[in-house]
Chain A
């Protein structure tokens, strides 16, 4: 990858300085010196970063540059790892690694280390740690208060505000507030490109898509030598169903940075959505080779296996998923392992056999491996939602009730979106099976983005005689273009039925 702009050169220069600082001699000198918490090197308008280690500080900054500014996510996380290795008492480093990692074991470990090291941090730095850890362990009220305190104290810390906007957008799906936060950043610095990207997505997902293209143009123009602007453009176009142009943008991203693996996944998933599953598999294999994080590699293997279901080859698909599940088990990735069984169940046309698949998924989650409670419960909620969806297919009200019982007890204590949405979906499923279509509609409308719930909603509306609403919901479903299993299970039959002017129901969505 060539050096295409001065920003990259600056990054490389910092990197080289970091390497020099990481030399064995420098490391030996540092370890020999008594630990001294120097006054943080504070840029007056940014949150303090407290570590006596120059190397830790440099790696932390490089981590933020890669993960947040340029969206080289793996590289960014690696720098955070190096940072806490250089200073094991670097509380903000641990919190940041916990906040960004996709590895559940690492998340648990780093949250504990952040808490244990917090006394080494400066007061305002502690607020940022409180926000990062609070968003992970369910302490959202104090976390939000801490972030708002920081935003008031550091109104010019663009990276801080962008990180908050990114969290509101991705984790909270609070698109309006995300846009408000990011608009404020861009008002002070109209060329702050990380915020341009996030604001474009806030608009696109929040129903103001007409505002997104100018931002994407600006984002591409601001970083002509970077892959993520092209990648983002590709993703937005793919969401809209413009697959050829999406492919063009993804390919441009890879020409700029051949290792930018998310664009490679983008190409693969675009082919999968286009129905060219053989090509999709070929492209997924390339992405698996490119990804370094084991969770990423396993996620792409799941997408690879799913292509067999997409092209209606269930025997091969089950075999592929079984192999991926075994590998996930071997690598101690229980979420991915359970997902393999859950995905297999959703594609399974036989309700009894599908229950066995889901039992296998539940068994993985019952195994007390080291993952955060919230992460475990999110996957359990998805398994229970799948149980209720399959129960509707089979007309099995008892099975639906049993799934609802599990979700009901979880929903009393866990406010995670995945748990709450799954609860409403399962409650709607039970009401549907009991013939309470009005109640089912009300519940299913609480989960308006999940294809499984939308399918049940369309069924309930149809049964309630709300034909126009049912058609509208089906058209909503048909417009979805993403790579999730729920989309792959539900949307193709809906599209086929709409094409033939039919109205598919949940009972007809098993492949």
Chain B
């Protein structure tokens, strides 16, 4: 029964391994060495076996990676519905500083040094992550408050919810209805070919 959602049709196959469970097993073989009696009480045996098995499973699952889509979000009152990836890059590079209505854009993102931001910086700003970080961290941007670094996606969403001129980038699984997700290069998160699908 598992979790109740992994039905036969959508159950993922076992993820990738870096080491076989037993290098010499044959088809249908069992991990016999793991089921040998150990000279101690049964609960300990069971627990020992589980620990060994779970350590093996860590190896089996070690290279699993999850791809997520990053959503570009604005305040619901913002008229913007879509923009190109190039235009997003210009905003991040401070080449574009105002919305069409003249109001100053405030960029709200996570710390550029966070792993989640590496992909976004490289994809949206072009060049290396280091170059992008340097641009985002330029001292000249701070007095105008054109960029705000926060520690979590939840904080980005809250900030954008409260600021009609803000634009943020978050893992799509963290959006609320208090923000508007805008299309990038005519696609939104989960669309095939969405450009901000990261790993």
Contact = CB atoms under 8 A, between A and B. Distances in A.
Interface of A: 67-68, 71, 73, 102, 138, 140-142, 144-146, 148-149, 152, 166-171, 173-177, 197-198, 201, 204-213, 216-217, 228, 231-232, 235, 237, 239-245, 260, 262-263, 273-276, 299, 335, 378, 411-415, 417-420, 448-451, 454, 472-473, 475-476, 478-484, 486-487, 491-492, 495-496, 498-499
A145 B171 CA distance: 12
A419 B191 CA distance: 12
Contacts of A492: 27
| Nearest 8 Cβ contacts at the A-B interface | A170-B5, A275-B28, A209-B57, A207-B61, A213-B50, A475-B20, A209-B54, A476-B16
Contact of A449 (B12, B34, B181): B12
B1 A274 contact: no
Nearest to A491: B27
A291 B23 CA distance: 38
B195 to A, nearest CB: 14
A475 B57 contact: no
Contacts of B47: 213, 217
Contact of B35 (A176, A245, A481): A245
A496 B62 contact: no
B134 interface: no
Contacts of A378: 9
Interface string B37-76: 0000000000101110111111011111110100100000
A480 B12 CA distance: 11
Given A73-B1, A145-B176, A486-B13, A213 B20 contact: no
A300 B22 CA distance: 29
Do most interface residues of chain B lie in helix, strand or loop, or is the interface mixed? loop
Contacts of B177: 142, 145-146, 148-149
A177 B12 CA distance: 17
A67 B4 contact: yes
A207 B3 CA distance: 17
Given A145-B176, A411-B192, A449-B12, A499 B25 contact: yes
Contacts of A499: 24-26
A149 to B, nearest CB: 5
Contacts, number: 225
Given A241-B30, A242-B34, A71 B1 contact: yes
Considering residues B7, B29, B179, B192, which has the most beta carbons from chain A within 10 angstroms of its beta carbon? B192
Nearest to A276: B28
A451 B13 contact: yes
A212 B54 contact: yes
Do most interface residues of chain A lie in helix, strand or loop, or is the interface mixed? helix
B135 to A, nearest CB: 29
Contacts of B7: 102, 170
A245 B35 CA distance: 8
B82 interface: no
A210 B30 contact: no
Contacts of A71: 1, 4
A260 B60 CA distance: 30
Given A175-B64, A205-B61, A472-B18, A244 B30 contact: yes
A237 B6 contact: no
A174 B13 contact: no
Contact of A205 (B12, B17, B31, B51): B12
A141 B54 contact: no
A301 to B, nearest CB: 12
Contacts of A170: 3-7, 10-11
B19 interface: yes
30 contacts: A73-B1, A102-B7, A145-B181, A170-B4, A170-B10, A170-B11, A173-B12, A176-B66, A177-B173, A201-B6, A204-B54, A205-B15, A206-B66, A209-B56, A209-B60, A209-B61, A210-B57, A211-B54, A217-B47, A232-B1, A241-B25, A242-B34, A260-B1, A273-B28, A274-B28, A449-B12, A472-B18, A484-B11, A495-B26, A498-B23
Contact of A141 (B8, B9, B10, B188): B188
Given A175-B66, A206-B61, A210-B58, A141 B189 contact: yes
A2 to B, nearest CB: 20
Given A73-B4, A204-B57, A239-B14, A148 B175 contact: yes
B21 A141 contact: no
Contacts of B175: 141, 144-145, 148
B2 to A, nearest CB: 5
B35 A415 contact: no
Nearest to B22: A241
B27 A496 contact: yes
Contact of A244 (B1, B35, B188): B35
Contact of A174 (B26, B49, B68): B68
A201 B3 CA distance: 7
Contacts of A211: 54
A231 B58 CA distance: 21
Given A170-B6, A274-B28, A228 B54 contact: no
Given A240-B53, A241-B30, A420-B192, A166 B18 contact: no
A217 B57 CA distance: 17
A487 B14 CA distance: 10
A464 B22 CA distance: 27
Given A144-B175, A149-B177, A174-B173, 19 more contacts: A71-B1, A73-B4, A141-B71, A144-B172, A144-B173, A149-B178, A169-B3, A170-B10, A173-B66, A207-B61, A209-B60, A210-B58, A228-B1, A237-B53, A262-B1, A275-B28, A412-B192, A415-B191, A476-B17
